Amino acid sequence: MADTERSVSIQRTENSRYEATNVRGGKLSIGSGKDDDFTPVELLLAAIGACSAIDVDVVTSRRAEPDEFTVTVRGDKIRDEAGNRMENLAVAYTVRFPEGPEGDEAREALPRAAKMSHERLCTVSRTVEVGTPVTITVNP
């Protein structure tokens, strides 16, 4: 059976600042927005963009190395009777390839790759779109 579990641990470093550690030892600072650390919402946006970017990059860069590859993810944080959440999430690609046959192939593959990532491949955006329950456990 394949190893399907993914996990990170979050350790408090000071009031409203944390450090996330993955199982490979990578670390990432997280904060409340009062400094330059990423906030949890920014991490969500980054995760959506990075997940899709990886999918698209793998497909297109087989054809040509991009001259520019930028993914911008935005959304509106709202608060209403349903609670805090993000709406109007949008992923925008700015990708340029060199002139020539390889660049033409990559340009042609780009829309299909972005669509495939959005509709099937990107675990992060698929999880957000499908809606997955989150369970909470408080350990003594």
Can you tell me the distance from the alpha carbon of 90 to that of 57, in angstroms, rounded to the nearest whole number? 18
50 and 32 share a domain? no
137 inside domain: no
Q: Is the pLDDT of residue 119 over 90?
A: yes
Domain co-membership, 65 together with 31: no
Is residue 82 domain-resident?
A: yes
Q: CA–CA separation, 55 vs 60, rounded Å?
A: 9
Determine the average pLDDT of the residues in 64-93.
Answer: 97
Res. 120: pLDDT tops 90: yes
Q: From CA 35, how far away is CA 88, in angstroms rounded?
A: 25
- Give me the pLDDT at residue 135, please: 95
- Asked whether residue 66 is assigned to any structural domain, the reply reads yes
Taking CA atoms, 80 is separated from 62, 83, 89, 90, 106, in Å, by 45, 5, 17, 21, 43
In the predicted structure, residue 87 carries a pLDDT above the cut 70: yes
Query: Are residues 48 and 33 part of one domain?
Result: no
Q: What is the pLDDT, as a whole number, of residue 77?
A: 96
Q: Is the pLDDT of residue 55 over 70?
A: yes
Q: Quote the number of domains for the chain.
A: 2
Per-residue pLDDT, 1: 54
Question: Which domain range does residue 65 map to?
Answer: 39-130
Q: Are residues 72 and 119 in the same domain?
A: yes
